[in-house]
Amino acid sequence: DIQMTQSPSSLSASVGDRVTITCRASQSIGTYLNWYHQKPGKAPKLLIYAVSSLQSGVPSRFSGSGSGTDFTLTISSLQPEDFVVYYCQQSYSTPPTFGQGTKLDIK
């Protein structure tokens, strides 16, 4: 199975900050990388698919980049609703696997 490792596991920031979360795959996955966020007590929600394509309805302050084994999610200007947990996920091979999550909280 492909292992997905996110860093950092937790991150403190302020409203208006620009933050970046990194995801590394244990082998090359091309551009088969997706990002989700999860609010407390809710289901995950797809933010970005295929590295950099924004899911419908997702604000443009979210962006993604990378290829091969190293990927990033950037939030350009944090809003109060962005302080949740973020997961990366590879869709390159079965089983699809997720990173362990990055918890973003308010500084």
Partner 1 sequence: EVQLEESGGGLVQPGRSLRVSCAASGFTFNDYAMHWVRQAPGKGLEWVSRISWNSGLILYADSVKGRFTISRDNAKNSLYLQMNSLRPEDTAFYYCTKDRSAAGLYYFDSWGQGTLVTVSS
Residues in touch with partner 1 (CB under 8 A): 32, 34, 36, 42-46, 49-50, 55, 87, 89, 91, 94-101
Cα(5)–Cα(21) distance, rounded to whole angstroms?
A: 11
Q: CB of 16: closest distance to partner 1 in angstroms? A: 29
In the complex with partner 1, which residue's Cβ is closer, 38 or 72? Answer: 38
In the complex with partner 1, which residue's Cβ is closer, 44 or 76? Answer: 44
The type of residue at 17 is: D
Q: CB of 18: closest distance to partner 1 in angstroms? A: 26
In the complex with partner 1, which residue's Cβ is closer, 60 or 94? Answer: 94
Handedness of CA 21, 27, 29, 34 (dihedral sign): negative
In the complex with partner 1, which residue's Cβ is closer, 17 or 103? Answer: 103
Secondary structure class of 20 (helix, strand, coil): strand
Cα(107)–Cα(96) distance, rounded to whole angstroms?
A: 33
Secondary structure class of 81 (helix, strand, coil): helix
Q: CB of 12: closest distance to partner 1 in angstroms? A: 20
